[in-house]
Chain A
Amino acid sequence: MSKSTQRIKTIAKKEVVEFVRDWRTIVAIIIIPILMFPVLFIVFPILLESEAAELDNKIVNIEIQSNEFPDYLINSFDENYTQLTIINKTFDESLSLPLDDLDKVRNMEIDAILRLNYSEEIWYYSIIHLSTSESSTEAKARIITSLIAFENNITELRIIDGGLEVDSTLDPLRWDGDTNKADVATEGEQAGLILSLFIPLVLAIWTFSSAIQPSIDMTAGERERGTLEALLGLPCTRNELLLGKWLGVATITGVGVLLQIVGLLFAIGYLASSDFIGVPALSIEAIVLIIVSIMLFAIMVVALELALAMRSHSVKEAGSILGPAIILIIFPALFTQVINLDGIESFWFSIPVINVLLALRELLLDRVIIEHIVIWFTSSVLYASLAAYYAARQFKREDIVTTLS
């Protein structure tokens, strides 16, 4: 191993060791990425379900105001969980105007009021409710369920009265057989499609965001703590310093991104039990190109962040610049998700950030299109080189040794 390689390795190793010795880093780089998606996709729905179950068991007060009270509708409410008050009433004005009932609902004496008016074969209705109250919203939902059942019943009776068969009249168009079997895409291709919807997004955003803290710590942080000056007096060159730090940040970020994707796949697999997502069918070329595209993206992003952080006068300033800069990744990442890959114009593959994200989407679908590969590879190498050149320039600045803060 050459002296230069040895120095780069020493710098990178020290950066990683120093970084992981802080428990907050372990939380940020390992615990959060692993748990984020499982918590979001598994624990959160469980919490929602338990809240919904609690609401289902709640007894709600519903008042029905009408000039007629059909038995079918009244009986459709579950009497165990609903307290019904029936008031005979006719309406001269619009049913939707709360009028005298406004305070009653606002003060939550009644959760919701169903108003009905039967006139010339039509049931007119409205539900007076308070949308900011969960009880009132639940009462409204139960009323709507009963009304749908009531409406279906009326429709069926009228079809029978007209001498028609109910089932064929209401459902005259039907798919024959298993819908999944009619899809000619293989399971592997379908899995690739699903993965292509979120893997590039997660990869781009998390690569950028998880590199922010180590980039600042290893540049502006070092300067502010006074460790940079001692380092600059050593025989290692500024380029070795940059490469060592880049390797350190890339390692930390790589681990974070990898763990987040593992967490994401676990959450999706758990939710959908392996039917929803399988192993994408990828050729060796596609896998190699995926790795190349991610590496080029990481070179660009980490070099840019190191450069911007080194250029900043203080840790605070670096944070103020790099924090909002994540928008530069989020917007293209979201935009890329809606671009149609079928017949896509080639120029898209030359736009920074978008090029790598589109490449990842295409490759996850196992579409190895030479023209696109040449464009995204060339442009990515160019952008990564520019970012590395910019970073090298910042690291070679003489004034990086002092801070104005």
Chain B
Amino acid sequence: MTNDNILLKISNVRKRFGEVLALDDVSFEINSGEVVGLVGSNGAGKTTLLRLMSGVYRPTSGSVTLGDQTPVHLMRDNLGVVPESTGLYSRLTAWENIRYHSRLYGIDDSVSWKRTLKFAQSLDMEENLSRYTKGFSRGMRQKTALLRALAHGPKVLLLDEPTAGLDITSARTVRALVEQIKQEGGTVVYSTHQLFEAQQVCDRIIIIHNGNVMANGSPDELINENECNTLEEAYVALTQEKARIRFEDSNNDKGLTKIWNKLFRPKTPSTSSNSEVIESE
């Protein structure tokens, strides 16, 4: 691929939250028309990376640029984001949720409605567009969030665990939609911790572990480069270092909260003493 084809560029990105280095010197490129999988265990840094790509976070150092080297937070009109939580308003209908975001993108209602209808047919969601999302299943919520992210015609679609918690049929529908977007020349960044899914959907897989990019290539390249028989074996070989725990802990408590938690936090026996108790019993 030529440099002209590069759509999203992550260059030497570090992201620090207090004392925790969530991402360390991450660099890669996303080309136009590609479906790229971000694969890693929980806490690897996938969501942080997606938030950097969507402009929600700013890098501590390095840059995330879109197209002609413009910082991504200035080009958010070109992005469609589906966060893991879907982020739907339960007291609005599916269409109202979609229209709300489209209006904030500055898109005319008639344009977003046409695009929504087009993809709603693929996702079998036409009948549900006028329903409140309060009673939606996880699958319906995910599909609505996808429609919302596509309604303004983004250049890049950022999906954070789009099939997590979905039943088999819904997951297949979502994957089929990604395939459809790819066929139409769209670019998708697909975060998942399921290798099988990444292998099925993505042209290229980026394996992230403990905030570092461990590998970047097509599924076949990853298997061959690591002299393994399967992608799973390659993944295990690349991520041998013990996975860190998620950093969303209350260790950052300050002042009164810290004292309060110290006083009232329940004491948990150490693992070794537990073993002793079990043995004595």
Interface residues of A (CB under 8 A from B): 3, 6-7, 10-11, 14, 17-18, 21-22, 225-236, 398-399, 401-402, 404
In the assembled complex, B77 has its CB within 8 A of some CB on chain A: yes
Shortest CB–CB separation between residue B130 and chain A, in angstroms?
14
Ordered by A's residue number, 26 sampled pairs between the chains whose C-beta atoms are within 8 Å are A7-B103, A7-B106, A10-B100, A11-B104, A14-B92, A18-B92, A226-B85, A227-B88, A228-B87, A229-B83, A229-B85, A229-B87, A230-B83, A230-B85, A230-B101, A230-B148, A233-B54, A233-B55, A233-B76, A234-B76, A235-B77, A398-B57, A398-B58, A401-B57, A402-B248, A404-B250
Q: In chain B between 41 and 76, which residues have their CB closer than 8 angstroms to a CB of chain A?
A: 51, 54-58, 76
The residue on B at minimum CB distance from A234 is: B104
* Cβ-defined contact, A230 with B145, below 8 A: yes
Residues of B close to A398: CB separation below 8 A = 56-58
In the assembled complex, B174 has its CB within 8 A of some CB on chain A: no
In the assembled complex, B38 has its CB within 8 A of some CB on chain A: no
Interface of A is mostly: helix
* Cβ-defined contact, B89 with A18, below 8 A: yes
* Cβ-defined contact, B248 with A404, below 8 A: yes
* Cβ-defined contact, A232 with B91, below 8 A: no
Which of B55, B79, B91, B250 lies in contact with A22, CB distance below 8 A? B91
The residue on B at minimum CB distance from A224 is: B85
* Cβ-defined contact, A234 with B105, below 8 A: yes
B interface residue count range (under 10 / 10 to 19 / 20 to 34 / 35 or more):
20 to 34
* Cβ-defined contact, B104 with A401, below 8 A: no
In the assembled complex, B86 has its CB within 8 A of some CB on chain A: yes
The residue on A at minimum CB distance from B81 is: A233
- Indicate whether A231 sits within 8 Å of B87 (C-beta atoms), given known contacts A17-B92, A18-B92, A398-B57: yes
| Docked pose: A11 CA to B248 CA in angstroms | 29
Shortest CB–CB separation between residue A282 and chain B, in angstroms?
40
Interface residues of B (CB under 8 A from A): 17, 51, 54-58, 76-77, 79, 81-92, 96, 100-101, 103-106, 145, 148, 158, 248, 250
Residues of B close to A399: CB separation below 8 A = 17
| Docked pose: A22 CA to B134 CA in angstroms | 12
| Docked pose: A381 CA to B104 CA in angstroms | 30
- What's the count of A-B pairs with C-beta under 8 Å? 78
Which of B89, B96, B103, B158 lies in contact with A227, CB distance below 8 A? B89
* Cβ-defined contact, A226 with B91, below 8 A: no
Residues of B close to A235: CB separation below 8 A = 76-77, 104-106
The residue on A at minimum CB distance from B50 is: A233
| Docked pose: A22 CA to B101 CA in angstroms | 21
Residues of A close to B84: CB separation below 8 A = 226
| Docked pose: A166 CA to B46 CA in angstroms | 99
| Docked pose: A405 CA to B106 CA in angstroms | 34
- Indicate whether A401 sits within 8 Å of B56 (C-beta atoms), given known contacts A14-B100, A18-B91: yes
Residues of A close to B148: CB separation below 8 A = 230
* Cβ-defined contact, B248 with A7, below 8 A: no
* Cβ-defined contact, B83 with A233, below 8 A: yes
Shortest CB–CB separation between residue B181 and chain A, in angstroms?
18
Residues of B close to A6: CB separation below 8 A = 103, 106
- Indicate whether A401 sits within 8 Å of B76 (C-beta atoms), given known contacts A21-B91, A226-B83: no
* Cβ-defined contact, A7 with B87, below 8 A: no
Residues of B close to A3: CB separation below 8 A = 106
Residues of B close to A401: CB separation below 8 A = 51, 56-57
Besides A226-B86, A398-B56, A401-B57, 10 more A-B contacts (Cβ < 8 Å) are A6-B106, A7-B104, A14-B92, A18-B92, A21-B91, A229-B56, A229-B83, A401-B56, A402-B248, A404-B248
10 shortest interchain CB distances as A-B pairs: A226-B85, A230-B87, A233-B81, A233-B54, A227-B87, A235-B76, A21-B91, A229-B83, A10-B103, A232-B56
| Docked pose: A17 CA to B51 CA in angstroms | 29
Q: Which of B58, B82, B87, B96 has the most chain A CB atoms closer than 10 A to its own CB?
A: B87
The residue on B at minimum CB distance from A3 is: B106
Shortest CB–CB separation between residue A2 and chain B, in angstroms?
11
Residues of A close to B91: CB separation below 8 A = 18, 21-22
Residues of A close to B89: CB separation below 8 A = 14, 18, 227
Shortest CB–CB separation between residue A385 and chain B, in angstroms?
26
| Docked pose: A268 CA to B58 CA in angstroms | 57
The residue on B at minimum CB distance from A244 is: B104
* Cβ-defined contact, B248 with A226, below 8 A: no
Shortest CB–CB separation between residue B257 and chain A, in angstroms?
9
| Docked pose: A230 CA to B141 CA in angstroms | 13
Q: Which of A10, A234, A401 has the most chain B CB atoms closer than 10 A to its own CB?
A: A234
Residues of B close to A11: CB separation below 8 A = 104
The residue on B at minimum CB distance from A232 is: B56
| Docked pose: A301 CA to B42 CA in angstroms | 41
Which of A10, A17, A226 lies in contact with B87, CB distance below 8 A? A226
Shortest CB–CB separation between residue A229 and chain B, in angstroms?
4
Residues of B close to A7: CB separation below 8 A = 103-104, 106
Shortest CB–CB separation between residue B247 and chain A, in angstroms?
10
Shortest CB–CB separation between residue B157 and chain A, in angstroms?
12
